[in-house]
């Protein structure tokens, strides 16, 4: 059993990560602006917090084995989040990433392709900048997990592939459910294989 702080626990990915952690017997501090939106689950303790309050966030993160952040990049600040984790003394930091910064060809990122939806470009670009910032970080044992291009509600199959910096695709395109993404993330928490690296999950 581990103690995990989950920032953004009420969101699409965050709620599935909380459920996966709970099902495996971990203790979760589930952080969200509105704690009433956090699903009641065994071992999950809701905490209402404005993550822009760095001191309060750092205090809430203290004493955990790992921190997971599952928040929109445009709605958060990389320096502030990283600073709060470092101030808390927690060494392990896992980030729910985006697909936009994955490569579709050598040196060509998904968000730089003509078919990338323009309405997602700002979020994807900021996610890529977050990853670049983590790569400069020597004090944290970080991991950035990018989903496939289509990241949607689905079923928990437990059957998926892992990759590194290249977008995973199959005959049906590039997708992963929130539920299977959560499995891959919690597997990484329990058995770290991608320390100070980005990896990706897809079908």
User: What was the pLDDT predicted at 8?
Assistant: 97
pLDDT score, position 200: 98
The predicted pLDDT at position 139 comes to: 87
**pLDDT at residue number 124:** 96
Q: What is the pLDDT of residue 122?
A: 96
Distances (CA, A) of 54 to 26, 59, 123, 125, 161: 25, 9, 22, 23, 36
Six-digit token pair at 45?
């303790």
Question: What does the pLDDT look like over 89-110, one tens digit per residue?
Answer: 999 999 999 999 999 999 999 9
Listed as ranges, residues in the chain with pLDDT below 70 are none
Contact at 8 Å (CB) between 110 and 131? no
> What is the residue-wise DSSP string for the chain?
--EEEEETTTSHHHHHHHHHHHHTT-EEEEEESSGGGSPP-TTEEEEE--TT-HHHHHHHHTT-SEEEE---GGGS-HHHHHHHHHHHT--EEEEE--STTSEEETTEEGGGSTTS-GGGHHHHHHHHHHHHHHTT-SS-EEEEEE--SEEE--------EEESSB---BTTBSEEEHHHHHHHHHHHHHS---TTEEEEEE-
């Amino acid at each position: 059993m581990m103690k995990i702080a989950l920032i953004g626990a009420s969101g699409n990915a965050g709620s599935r990560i909380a459920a996966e952690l709970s099902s495996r017997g971990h203790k979760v501090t589930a952080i969200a602006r509105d704690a009433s939106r956090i699903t009641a689950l065994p071992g999950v303790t809701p905490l209402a917090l404005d993550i822009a309050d760095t001191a309060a966030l750092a205090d809430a993160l203290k004493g955990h084995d790992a921190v997971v952040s599952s928040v929109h990049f445009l709605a958060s600040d990389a320096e502030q989040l990283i600073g709060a984790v470092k101030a808390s003394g927690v060494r392990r930091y896992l980030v729910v990433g985006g697909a936009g910064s994955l490569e579709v060809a050598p040196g060509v990122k998904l968000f730089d392709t003509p078919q990338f939806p323009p309405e997602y470009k700002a979020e994807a670009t900021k996610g890529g900048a977050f990853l670049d910032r983590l790569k400069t970080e020597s004090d944290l044992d970080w991991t950035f997990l990018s989903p496939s291009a289509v990241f949607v509600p689905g079923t928990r199959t437990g059957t998926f592939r892992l990759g590194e910096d290249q977008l995973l695709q199959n005959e049906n395109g590039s997708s992963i459910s929130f539920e299977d993404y959560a499995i891959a993330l919690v597997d990484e928490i329990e058995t770290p294989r991608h320390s100070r690296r980005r990896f990706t999950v897809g079908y």
